[in-house]
Amino acid sequence: MSNAQGSHRAGRGSGRRRAGTVEPPRASYDEQGAYGDEQGAYGDEQGAYGDESGSYGDEQGAYGDEQGSYGAPYDTYRPAYEAAYPAFDAYESGYEPGFVSGYESAPTEPRLLPRQAPAPAPASESDAPPPSRAEARRVARRKKAAGRPETLRRLVPQALVVAFLAGGTSAFVAEDKAIKLSVDGEEPRELHTFADDVGELITKEGLEVGAHDRVTPAPGTELANGDEIVVRYGRPVDLTLDGQRRREWTTARTVGGMLRQLDVRAEGAYLSSSPARRISRSGLRLDVRTERTVTVMADGRERTIRTNAATVREAVEQAGITLRGQDTTSVPPSSFPRDGQTVSVMRISASREVREQPLPFAVERTEDASLYQGTEVVEQQGRAGARRLVYSLRTVNGVKQKPKLLRSEVVREPRTQIVKVGTKARPTSVEGADGLNWGALAACESGGRPGATDPSGTYGGLYQFDVRTWQGLGGSGRPQDAPAAEQTYRAKKLYVQRGASPWPHCGGRLRR
């Protein structure tokens, strides 16, 4: 800063009115060099605030000789501005808020600039001292301005607008930020924005960001010049990982990138798609089987392998073991082999066995009034049925297993036995035989036991009837199965027919 500029600022400060008074004028403009010819500030050569620009001229009293101040208060010169520039109100409301506020905050009194006290008027024009060079310039400016008042009134508002717009442009440039934006792996592009934060920038760019998308930095982060914003869209992946199905969302654009995001070890793994395959926005299906350690025990040997097999059967075959016939494993062969799992191979030999099981027949009894009470006659002989059973016999690793029933079927239905039961009252006596000692005869023949039989099985009952004789007397079935009273009754009938001859050894006891 030059001395002359320093004097200019000191002169402006020294001319202000404080507490309703005006300080005494200080050094003249010429001596200080402010607003003077040498510096050219506010002077003719620069044309700023001077005659050529026509602004802040003598008539308005701004920076002029007569007022010697910054001009009248805002309300004093506003009518003149409105008359000279009809769009004054638009500037007041539409450009810079500070346009009006700056004038409304202007001092209510004129602020006098420091200047020299006016020289006393001479007695006559001939006695007046010659004007100084600065005074001569002021006089020339007044005469020049008097010839173009309309030009001044027209240019003053324009100069104000230019000044205020220049200030607004500075603020405009200050808020503008140069940003780099990369969307879903595309090459970053440069753009200029007035957005305050990342979220506002994303919205202004028309980018739709969902819950599974990622924005770096976060949407609420304040923007600064030179920031780089990265937007990555989420992609759905229907993932089957080691037999477990689930849906994952990834911002990676390739299968390999997704596996790295999920921390899935791809080395030695089976992948249904290449790691270099790109994942579209609509997603994809992916089957991944990581490498695992499986131990297989078979035929007395143990084998440990590293595999990405999909089933236990496949892992067993990779271990060099073949399953034949009904051979199987300790876990289902179709199950998924887990890391660290031990699988035992079971060698199975099998056969079938057919067995027949008898089915008992039912007995149906019907009453018959033609038969004496206690008498039963088998009208239809029963017959047992048969059931066929098929069993599977297995030997696992040389050890026989419990037979397993495969199927059961009835090959012969049982036949029901039908028995007639007598209901007719039995006679209590037989004429000509009631007075004999039948108890003594029974004791001699069978020891008095109704169910007794001889060693050959031919004779039975109290009186040792053979079946033919028994049935000839009206009995049914076997004599030893009939009640004791019926056996005595049949014995009396036999005595009436043949006497004591049927009992050659014991018949004599009937008369004792």
Q: Over 50: is that where the pLDDT of 169 sits?
A: no
Q: What is the pLDDT of residues 455-493, one digit of tens each?
A: 999 999 999 999 999 999 988 889 999 889 889 989 999
Integer angstrom CA distances of residue 230 from 176, 205, 324, 337, 392: 20, 13, 59, 42, 69
Q: Give 124's pLDDT tier (boundaries 50, 70, 90).
A: very low
Q: What is the pLDDT of residues 38-61, one digit of tens each?
A: 444 444 444 434 444 344 444 444
Q: Could you tell me which CATH class the domain 177-232 is placed in?
A: alpha beta
| CA separation for the pair 355, 407 (Å, rounded) | 11
Q: Which residues contact 469 (CB under 8 A, 6 or more apart)?
A: 494, 502
Q: What is the pLDDT of residues 258-295, one digit of tens each?
A: 999 999 988 899 999 999 999 999 999 999 999 999 99
Average pLDDT over residues 128-156: 56
Domain at 351-420, CATH from 2.60.40.420, 1.10.3720.10, 2.20.230.10, 1.10.287.610: 2.20.230.10
Q: Over 70: is that where the pLDDT of 421 sits?
A: yes
Integer angstrom CA distances of residue 465 from 41, 296, 458, 473, 488: 168, 79, 8, 10, 11
Domain over 428-511 is classified CATH 1.10.530.10:
yes
Q: Over 80: is that where the pLDDT of 82 sits?
A: no
- Name the β-bridge partners of 227: none
pLDDT at 249 (0 to 100) = 94
| CA separation for the pair 123, 117 (Å, rounded) | 18
Exposed e or buried b for every residue in 409-420, given b needs 16+ CB within 10 A? eeeeebeebbbb
pLDDT at 424 (0 to 100) = 85
Find the range with the poorest average confidence among 26-35, 182-191, 423-432, 444-453: 26-35
Residue 369 contacts residue 315 (beta carbons within 8 Å): no
Find the range with the poorest average confidence among 71-85, 91-105, 114-128, 349-363: 91-105
Q: Please report the DSSP string for 121-165 in residue order.
A: PPSSTTTSPPPPHHHHHHHHHHHHHHT-HHHHHHHHHHHHHHHHH
Highest averaged pLDDT of the listed ranges 9-13, 96-100, 355-359, 434-438: 355-359
Q: Give 430's pLDDT tier (boundaries 50, 70, 90).
A: confident
| CA separation for the pair 477, 473 (Å, rounded) | 12
pLDDT at 72 (0 to 100) = 44
Q: Over 70: is that where the pLDDT of 32 sits?
A: no
SS3 content of the chain, % helix, strand, coil (to 5): 30, 25, 45
Q: Which two tokens stand for residue 6?
A: 């320093």
Classified by CATH at the fold level, domain 235-289 comes out as: Ubiquitin-like (UB roll) (3.10.20)
Mean pLDDT over each residue of the chain, to the nearest integer:
76
Q: Give 412's pLDDT tier (boundaries 50, 70, 90).
A: very high
